[in-house]
């Protein structure tokens, strides 16, 4: 558990550079769940809006598979009900940035170990365009028993 918490606290340097102005991804986490195939990915992506207008997340894609559920509480382990796209990203207020703490669930992965290869996720916003960020697996699923 401590390893998982430490992995979630680390931010890859590449995340800070992946942006579509005025939107910026400020944190990611990529965890594979389950002990045997089919695995599932839980991906956390926190998007910061420093502009002057609200935006909407209209599409999400990843080479891992088809995202089937989205939550907006930022908690990889919560039981919040999924929300449909589009997902609003509010405008900043009083000079303070606004945030979208997004959780993306991708089921049906045959491979449970992306630690060496990593992956990516692309977020498409109505105003801000596309943001693609690399994903580094924070917690691999154990290899299947032989």
pLDDT tens digits, residue range 5-37?
A: 444 455 443 444 444 469 999 999 999 988 788
Question: Whose CA is closest to 100, among 60, 45, 138, 63?
Answer: 45
* pLDDT confidence bin for 142, thresholds 50/70/90: low
**How many residues would you count in the chain?**
146
Residues 6+ apart with CB under 8 A from 81: 71
pLDDT tens digits, residue range 66-87?
A: 999 999 999 988 889 999 999 9
Residues 6+ apart with CB under 8 A from 36: 144, 145
For residues 7 and 140, the model is more confident at: 140
User: Cα separation of 102 and 25, whole Å?
Assistant: 11
At residue 20, the pLDDT reads 44
User: Cα separation of 66 and 56, whole Å?
Assistant: 20
Reported pTM: 0.81
């Amino acid at each position: 558990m401590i390893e998982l918490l430490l992995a979630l606290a680390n931010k890859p340097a590449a995340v800070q550079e992946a942006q579509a102005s005025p939107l910026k991804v400020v944190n990611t986490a990529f965890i594979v769940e389950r002990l045997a195939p089919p695995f599932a990915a839980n991906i956390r992506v926190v998007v910061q809006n420093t502009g002057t207008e609200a935006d909407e997340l209209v599409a999400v894609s990843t080479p891992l598979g088809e995202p089937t559920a989205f939550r907006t509480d930022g908690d990889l382990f919560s039981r919040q009900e999924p929300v449909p796209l589009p997902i609003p990203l509010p405008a900043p207020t009083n000079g303070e940035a606004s945030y979208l703490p997004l959780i993306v669930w991708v089921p049906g992965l045959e491979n449970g170990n992306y630690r060496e290869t990593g992956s990516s996720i692309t977020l498409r916003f109505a105003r801000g365009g596309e943001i693609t960020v690399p994903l580094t697996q924070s917690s691999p699923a154990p290899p299947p028993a032989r």
